Structure 1
Amino acid sequence: MSTEKLLLKAKSQLTLKHPYFGMLASRLKHESSDTIRGYASNGVRFLYNPEFISKRSIDEVMFILTNCVMHHILAHQQRRLNRKGSLWQLATDYAINNMLHQNGLHIPQGANFNEEYQGMYAEEIYDLIKEAYFGEIDDAFNSDNNGPNDNLLAPDNANDEQNCNESGDFSNLNNIEDDLDSQTESEWQYAASISQELAQRKSAMPSGLDRLAKKMQAHDIDWRFELYNAINRHMRNNYAFMPPNKKHIHRGFILPSLTSDTLSLCVAIDTSGSINDELLGIFMEEFKTIMQNFPAVQIELIIADAKVHAHYTFQGGEKMDFPLKGGGGTDYRPVFDYIDSQLPLTTMLLYFTDGDGWYPKRMPSYEVLWALSRPHKVPFGRPLMIL
């Protein structure tokens, strides 16, 4: 069977067995190339080495195509931020392959798969692997550090697209070096919505993909995924030439790198009487998780009920040791007034609360996410259920 027929058959079977994945895989235009060792995808083309693909079974090709498109759908490269590429690659593979296994796809021998990571986000997996490999080693994952971690976790790849090796080892298949451009990213989002509608009509929506739904109620939204996407979006819109992006220096030109200087994230925690100790503990644990997942972002923490009790600044998982004052009524207006007067450069506010309080009459100029402990209508911003 020719490689062209093999790919077409794999896409056909994928569409029949898994309509959601098959519709997405059919978007990629496959193109034979002898210049790569295995296959590569930049979100538009699927380049493949014919010798490599010809040695794969139908199930393996179905896995390759699905794993490939899910990296784009889940915006894994856009969510990388300042995380070390080889480790982030490993974490994203674990996240995707667990989801594919859950939905009955064949996972080839040698692929990055561990059932212990089932249901976890790539960000969470990244932190676990980082701790397992390097413990408390300082600056082990600094983007400017060319230490041994790349060699430990994955071989070096010169290609700027998704890649794998000739031996059939599936442990290093998906090194996506470049972000999708805005048009391609929008096209993938639209394709995901169409594929979802088709899969739902056939009652074949994959497990674990509810977070990708376009039409969702607040209580159905995976709030961490939404929050991570919002923060990533702000960071991706912020470019600077100091320090430069070193990736293209060897080609003779310098491109800007991402910084977080203009991202000002503010987190407010409601300590009013309606928030019991258990719920308050959940709010604080979630705040710690945010700090760990975004170590480069400086976060302004505001403690308030009907008034602002305290304001702290944290970055990179610093130790928190302060009293949580409160116990009164709930009035959100003092927090917004405080931000206007003391933190005018705020670009995003995440408010942990139960939603029962007095709201400002006017919507602020910055983005607002309400992390709610129960369903509640909010006058502006986006409600995200955390329980």
Structure 2
Amino acid sequence: MTSDPAGTLDRNKLFTARLHAVRVRPYLATALFALHVVESRRVPTMAVDPHWRCYVSPTFVARTPVEELAGAWVHEVSHLLRDHHGRGDRVARERGLTGPGERLRMNIAADCEINDDVFGDGLARPEGVVEPGSLLLPEGQLMEDYLRQFRLGPRTQHLAWLDCGSGADGLAREWDLGPDGGHALSRQERDAVRFRVAEGITGRPGNVPRGWQRWAEQAFHPPQPWRELLGAAVRSAVSASGVGEDYTYGRPSRRSAGVPGVILPALRRRPPRVCVVIDTSGSVSDAELGSALLEVAAISRAVGGRRDLVTVLPCDAAAQVVRPLCRAEDIPLVGGGGTDLRAGFARALRDRPCPDVIVVLTDGQTPWPASRPSSRVVVGLFPRASRWDENDPDYVADSPPAWARVVTIGSAPTAR
């Protein structure tokens, strides 16, 4: 199958190469077939944009063997699956990287990340392909790591032509059709493709390179700064309207002038009080209890370091003693029985003055109060793959109620 370099794109040859890529990398089939091909003479070889279009040079297809074209398919779709465009934009903002030279560095670094997983086992390795070893870099690292380890210079001069498109570094190209162009995948469709590919990889991990296994694990459990999310949730709760507000007759209200003979109290702002309810039931591990104590210290910082405003309440099926926060490591976390945090809520709300914010650190395997308490509630949730009760195999624990702000703590963080 050949084509005149000046003629139209040889789609038969191109799609034959894609079928070969699917045959040797079956876990990438969903992603490979999700790409929409756009013929373009402005791209040097093949390039992608963030909307899952693949721009292809007819000349490149005409002169490249099918086995190498299959590798190009896998290479380009790897940029999109690994979100190199989004990561490139984030790195550019964080490190102040501007200009085409820095974007070329990102493209080279992204190629170093994926090329050690692309070739071999049925995919031919083209001559001059970008690999970490050719730049005296270690294998198995991420784009962000490689960016710190090399600069453009004599070793990269031969890569000046390299351009995998905006899907590799986030910088829009003149040939891009943009988000409103035809055949663009929506954000939901792109996420669905990634999920299907990650699902296929985790289902048969023994047949997949370690780099793809690592990607699939992160696709299912994307890393997020959950400690920052938890701190932000607490700060948002303690600074919300009505929190820490009370009336005082020490300073009469200005409205008293409009009601002769009546003294009206003025509204004042006082430091908010926080009660941390820690789930000490048997389903919470010692490591998670240790993490909970670390979070108590972080919560005290979220309220300005005022430890006198933070109390700690261990609770399993029954509430324990409410303790003031002196040092987190001195708090005894007693319990180990069943779980019913309704007792913890009831005990916390009996305190005087009543806490303005209740922070609950739990695995979520507990009944929740039937009605919204008077205090604002933030839930730090230890993740569980499933929720169970050894005495009732059909038991499913209730999710945290809608009136609570929830932040997942640990390996699979989310927030709502």
TM-score, length of structure 2 as denominator length: 0.46
Q: Is the radius of gyration larger for structure 1 or structure 2?
A: 2
TM-score where L is the length of structure 1: 0.49
